[in-house]
């Protein structure tokens, strides 16, 4: 049980760290971006939002993959594909019941789901902040 809790805490820590690095790197590149100061900003904003969504999706998929590999390595599933499928289902809180962890590992699924909810919430907050900044920048240029 202690080992399972340690594994869960490690995976949560790695998920948060990966997400924090992705968000911080995007913030460094986007917040003071010259694209936010150009006169015609629609295309620049559309491109930036596309890149942000792509980076965030890649971050979420990477985090889900880490959990899936962990499930496979601790014997949660016999094959990596099922482990990855279960992980993505848990991380996104879809929760299909066609793949179920063994009883002794079942605590990991809900912990991954909680981590996924928090990471998606964090991403949503980031996107909202960026979109607000874009709209403020665009309104300032129109004056």
Q: Indicate the angle between helix axes 2-30 and 42-73, nearest 10 degrees.
A: 160
* CA atoms of 80 and 61, how far apart (whole Å): 15
Which phi-psi region, left, alpha or beta, contains residue 102 (left: φ > 0; alpha: ψ -120 to 50)?
beta
At 56, is the pLDDT very low, low, confident or very high (cuts 50, 70, 90)?
very high
**Predicted pLDDT at 142:** 64
Per residue in 99-138, pLDDT tens?
999 999 999 999 999 999 999 999 999 999 888 887 776 6
Which phi-psi region, left, alpha or beta, contains residue 95 (left: φ > 0; alpha: ψ -120 to 50)?
left
Residue 31, SS3 per DSSP: coil
Average pLDDT (63-73) is 96
Please calculate the CA angle 93-65-47 and round it to the nearest 5 degrees.
85
pTM over 0.85: no
């Amino acid at each position: 049980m202690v080992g399972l809790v340690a594994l869960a805490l490690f995976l949560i820590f790695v998920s948060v760290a990966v997400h924090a690095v992705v968000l911080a790197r995007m913030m460094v590149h986007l917040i003071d971006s010259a694209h936010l100061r150009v006169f015609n900003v629609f295309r620049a904003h559309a491109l930036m939002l596309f890149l942000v969504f792509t980076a965030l999706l890649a971050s979420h998929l990477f985090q889900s993959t880490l959990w899936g590999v962990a499930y496979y390595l601790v014997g949660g599933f016999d094959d990596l594909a099922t482990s990855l499928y279960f992980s993505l289902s848990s991380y996104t809180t879809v929760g299909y019941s066609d793949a179920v962890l063994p009883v002794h590992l079942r605590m990991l699924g809900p912990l991954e789901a909680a981590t996924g909810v928090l990471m998606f919430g964090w991403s949503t907050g980031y996107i909202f902040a960026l979109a607000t900044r874009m709209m403020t920048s665009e309104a300032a240029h129109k004056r």
